[in-house]
Structure 1
Amino acid sequence: MREVRAMSTDDIVSRTRLLENEIRIMRLEQTRITHEIQNQRDKIRENSEKIKVNKTLPYLVSNVIEILDVDPNEYGEEDGANVDLDSQRKGKCAVIKTSTRQTYFLPVIGLVDAETLKPGDLVGVNKDSYLILETLPAEYDSRVKAMEVDERPTEQYSDIGGLDKQIQELIEAVVLPVTHKERFENLGIQPPKGVLLYGPPGTGKTLLARACAAQTKSTFLKLAGPQLVQMFIGDGAKLVRDAFALAKEKAPAIIFIDELDAIGTKRFDSEKAGDREVQRTMLELLNQLDGFSSTTDIKHHMLHRLVLSRVTHLAHFAVGLRPPVTPCIHIHTLCPSFEEKITTQAEQPKD
C-alpha cells in the first residue's frame, strides 16, 4: 500500500493498463490451451477409432524372426537426397514372417511393446499394414495338450504301503526342491534334474509320481513312451520339445513319462527308418534333460516298467539315461513284503 500511495495518478493508470494487458494475454493463452486440449482429445478419439478398426478380427498370424535396433545416425544421407521418415526413426524394428510365407521388415512394430517381443513369438498382425496388434499364446501340439491331467492328483503318501524308503527318496529329490526352493539356493545345493523309477509292474511307480504331484501342487503331464514313436520323421522329437515347453510355461510341473523303454534303449546301427526315428526321439529327450536347469520348477519323472533285475534292465537303457552320466536319481521299487502287505491292508478304509 505504501508503494501505491507513493505513486502518482499517471503511474497508477499506466500500471493498471499494463496489468489489464497481461490479463488479456493470459485469457487468450487460456483459450488457446483449451482449444489445443480439445483438439488433442479429438485426435485421441480419432486414433482410438482407427485402432479399433485396425484391430478388427481376423488377424494375420505371423512369427517374429528378429528384433533389430536401428540408429539412423549410423547411415549418412547425401546432400539434396530425399529423406524417408521411417529411416529416421530410432528404436526397435522387427522382421516377421507371415503364415502366407512372406517376410516383412517393420520399422514401426505396432501396438505391442518391443521389449516384450523375442524371436519365435507368435503374433497377430494387420492383414493390410502388417503392424503387430497382439501377441498370441504359444502354439503347442494338440496331442501334448491332451497329455495334461486337468484334475489335480489326490493320492497321498499314506495310500502307498511298503515303499517308505522310496517315498523318502522321492520327497528329498523332487518335493523339497519345489516347496523349499530358497533353502537349496541358500545352501548352494543343486537338486537332481529328474527321477528314474524302475521295478516290476504293480509296485507303485505311477502312484508314487501322482502322490508327488499332489504334494507339490504341480501341473501333471503324463506321457507314454509308445506315444513318442511316430510315423513321420521328426514328429516324435517335436512332441518331446512341445511337452517340455508346455511344462516350462505351466511351472511348477511334473513330466511323467511312462514306458520309457520304448525310446530309451541303447543306440545301435540299423538300416530301418523306424529304428533311426526312435533314436532321434531319444536324442531329443536327452537334449531336453541336459538343457533344463535343475533350479527350474520342472521335474522329470521317467517310469520304466520291466520285469527284470536292476542291473539287467538298466544295462538295456541308453548311456545318457544311466548313472553316472545322467544327473537323475534312480529309485528301485520292489514288491512289498508280507508284513508290509498286512500293514497296507490295515490302512485301507473298510466298506
Structure 2
Amino acid sequence: MRLELTRISHEIQSQRDKIRENTEKIKVNKTLPYLVSNVIEILDVDPNEYGEEDGANVDLDSQRKGKCAVIKTSTRQTYFLPVIGLVDAETLKPGDLVGVNKDSYLILETLPAEYDSRVKAMEVDERPTEQYSDIGGLDKQIQELIEAVVLPVTHKERFENLGIQPPKGVLLYGPPGTGKTLLARACAAQTKSTFLKLAGPQLVQMFIGDVQSWFEMPLLWPREGPALSFSLMNWMPLVSAASAG
C-alpha cells in the first residue's frame, strides 16, 4: 500500500512538473509582439483518409484528427497549421484576424476586427439613394456597369454556377461632370452597399504597397454588408510630371 502511494505521489509530482514546464513554454510563446494574420480556411482533417507506406516516417502533427487552419500572415506568406494553437478551433472562421507566434505560427489569440484609421478619412455614405433614372445619356455605360458590378453581387450564385469570374473593378474615365461618381453611387444603391470614396491625390504620395492597401479598404470595413469603393483620381499631373522628367 505504501509503495502504491509513493508511486502515485511520484506520478502526481511528475505531472505537476510537466504542467509547470508547459506553462512556462506558453508564457514564452505568448511574449509580444505577435505576428498578425488572417484565417483563410478552416479544414477538417482525418489522417485515416491518407494511408502511410510501410517504413515511412510518420509526422505526429499530421496524424491529429480535427480542425486545421490555413492562415496568411501580414508578411504575405501562407501557412497550413495542423495544430492550430491556443484558440478553440470551433470559434474560428475564415476572415478572422488572429495573433500568431512569429516563429511557430501557432495561433495564440483572436484579435478584434481590423478597423484601419484610413477608413475614417473616406467619404462614407451607408445608404446611397441615386437611381439609374437620375442619369441621362449613359444607357450603354449603365448596362455595362450592371453586368460587371451589380449582377455579380445580387446574383452571385448564377456566376458561380456558370463558372464566370466577374471583374474585380471597373475604370470610369472622362472629364469632370460626366456622371462618373453618380454612376458609382447608383451601383452602390442597387447592391445595397456602403459607398466609400477615396481621394486620388493621397495615393500619389504613398510608398509601394500602400496604394494596394488603399484599394483593399472595403475588406477592412467593419460593418455588415458589402462595400463599394470609388477612387476619384486625376492622373494628368502625373503624366505631365513624367513627360517633363
TM-score (structure 2 length as normaliser): 0.50
* Compared CA separation, residues 135 and 202, structure 1 to 2 (3 A): same
* Compared CA separation, residues 133 and 195, structure 1 to 2 (3 A): closer
Task: State the SS of the aligned residue for 2:196.
Answer: strand
Q: Could you report, residue by residue, the CA deviation over 1:281-332 in whole angstroms, capped at 9, with x for unpaired residues?
A: xxxxxxxxxxxxxxxxxxxxxxxxxxxxxxxxxxxxxxxxxxxxxxxxxxxx
- Matched residues in 2 for 1:344 and 1:69: separation? 29
Task: State the SS of the aligned residue for 2:145.
Answer: helix
Structure 2: 5+ residue runs without aligned partners?
Answer: 227-245
| Percentage of matched positions with identical amino acids | 95
Moved more, 81-90 or 121-130: 81-90
User: Residue 176 of structure 1: CA displacement?
Assistant: 34
User: Residue 80 of structure 1: CA displacement?
Assistant: 2.1
- Matched residues in 2 for 1:88 and 1:344: separation? 38
TM-score (structure 1 length as normaliser): 0.35
Match of 2:218 among 322, 338, 341: 341
Task: State the SS of the aligned residue for 2:9.
Answer: helix
Match of 1:89 among 39, 64, 81: 64
- Matched residues in 2 for 1:343 and 1:61: separation? 14
* Compared CA separation, residues 179 and 106, structure 1 to 2 (3 A): closer
Q: CA RMSD in A?
A: 11.8
User: Residue 79 of structure 1: CA displacement?
Assistant: 1.9
Task: State the SS of the aligned residue for 1:100.
Answer: coil
Does the Cα contact within 8 Å between 2:85 and 2:108 map onto a contact in 1?
yes
User: Residue 29 of structure 1: CA displacement?
Assistant: 1.2
User: Residue 131 of structure 1: CA displacement?
Assistant: 0.5
Task: State the SS of the aligned residue for 1:134.
Answer: strand
Report how many residues are paired: 222
- Is the counterpart of residue 32 in structure 1 residue 32 in structure 2? no
Q: Report 1:232-247 matches (<5 A).
A: none
Does the Cα contact within 8 Å between 2:130 and 2:185 map onto a contact in 1?
yes
Q: Could you report, residue by residue, the CA deviation over 1:38-94 in whole angstroms, capped at 9, with x for unpaired residues?
A: 111111111111111111011111111110000011111122222221221100010
Q: Could you report, residue by residue, the CA deviation over 1:142-175 in whole angstroms, capped at 9, with x for unpaired residues?
A: 2556899999999999999999999999999999
- Matched residues in 2 for 1:169 and 1:138: separation? 34
- Matched residues in 2 for 1:29 and 1:147: separation? 72
Task: State the SS of the aligned residue for 2:172.
Answer: strand
Does the Cα contact within 8 Å between 2:98 and 2:110 map onto a contact in 1?
yes
Does the Cα contact within 8 Å between 2:71 and 2:78 map onto a contact in 1?
yes
* Compared CA separation, residues 167 and 69, structure 1 to 2 (3 A): closer
Does the Cα contact within 8 Å between 2:37 and 2:73 map onto a contact in 1?
yes
Does the Cα contact within 8 Å between 2:116 and 2:220 map onto a contact in 1?
no
Structure 1: 5+ residue runs without aligned partners?
Answer: 1-25, 236-337
Does the Cα contact within 8 Å between 2:193 and 2:225 map onto a contact in 1?
no
User: Residue 213 of structure 1: CA displacement?
Assistant: 25
User: Residue 211 of structure 1: CA displacement?
Assistant: 29
Q: Could you report, residue by residue, the CA deviation over 1:235-277 in whole angstroms, capped at 9, with x for unpaired residues?
A: 9xxxxxxxxxxxxxxxxxxxxxxxxxxxxxxxxxxxxxxxxxx
Larger helix percent: 1
Does the Cα contact within 8 Å between 1:124 and 1:132 map onto a contact in 2?
yes
- Matched residues in 1 for 2:149 and 2:129: separation? 17
User: Residue 27 of structure 1: CA displacement?
Assistant: 1.7
* Compared CA separation, residues 215 and 124, structure 1 to 2 (3 A): same
- Matched residues in 2 for 1:341 and 1:232: separation? 20
Partner residue in 2 for 1:286: none
User: Residue 189 of structure 1: CA displacement?
Assistant: 37
User: Residue 141 of structure 1: CA displacement?
Assistant: 3.2
The higher radius of gyration belongs to 1
- Matched residues in 2 for 1:85 and 1:341: separation? 40
* Compared CA separation, residues 142 and 346, structure 1 to 2 (3 A): closer
